[in-house]
Structure 1
Amino acid sequence: METNYAEADRYYEAQKKVAEIKKFYQHLTVYLLCNPIVIVVNLMTSPGYLWFIWSLMGWGIAIVLHGLKAFEFSPFYNKEWEERKIREILEKENKRQIWK
């Protein structure tokens, strides 16, 4: 019976992972479709100042961060970091319980 729960957990985690990757691709698609419009608007309204670069860079950084998270390449907040923080919080909570 335990195997069924483990298998169900693995399936659920895989579903969440696929949903996160799907959201990333949707975000990337919107980026790729909207930015040509932004560029055209910039060039038509104020070709002397290319402000679309700021839009491309800002949104591009968000896309990169989203991709890192979706494909689990995050160097900062990965699973090991989560486990360390959980242990740290539990240890603090245990110390509080001891002193009460």
Structure 2
Amino acid sequence: MRTFTDAQLHELAHKRVEFRTHLMVYLVINAALWIIWYITGQGYPWPVWPMTGWGIGVIFHYMFDYRQSRFLSEEDEYQKLKKKLEENNHITP
């Protein structure tokens, strides 16, 4: 299991709160767009387009900031490099 420093936990908490804020703004604004669409005559469902584009951004925000991704983890990459360097130092005479 991975251990976190206090600074890392604080940064992770900050990123998660930012994601939740982003998600709430997305939901409120898109609800407002759908209400405007409904009030103005319900023609072509144009709110789908900003909702889709922005939704892709919300998904990427989740993937990179909320969820723990080992693929993009700076700490994991550092540990791999450190381990490789230690192995190379032990192998060479």
* TM, length-normalised to structure 2: 0.67
Q: Secondary structure at the match of 1:13?
A: helix
Matched residues, percent identical?
Answer: 25
The one of 47, 51, 61 aligned to 1:52? 47
The one of 38, 41, 50 aligned to 2:33? 38
Taking the aligned partners of 2:49 and 2:38, their CA distance within structure 1 comes to 14
Residue by residue, what CA displacement relative to the aligned partner does 1:13-57 show, whole Å, maximum 9, x if unpaired?
Answer: 110011000000000111111111100112222522110001111
Count of matched residue positions in the alignment of Structure 1 and Structure 2: 75
**What is the identity, as a one-letter code, of the residue corresponding to 2:73?**
K
Taking the aligned partners of 2:10 and 2:44, their CA distance within structure 1 comes to 45
Taking the aligned partners of 1:74 and 1:50, their CA distance within structure 2 comes to 39
Point out 4+ residue stretches in structure 1 off by more than 4 angstroms.
Answer: none
Residue ranges of structure 2 left out of the alignment (5+ in a row): 82-93
The one of 68, 74, 80 aligned to 1:72? 68
Instruction: Assess if the C-alpha contact under 8 Å between 2:37 and 2:43 holds in 1.
Output: no
* TM, length-normalised to structure 1: 0.63
Residue ranges of structure 1 left out of the alignment (5+ in a row): 1-6, 88-100
Residue by residue, what CA displacement relative to the aligned partner does 1:47-99 show, whole Å, maximum 9, x if unpaired?
Answer: 22110001111111111100011213486xx126x949xx7xxxxxxxxxxxx
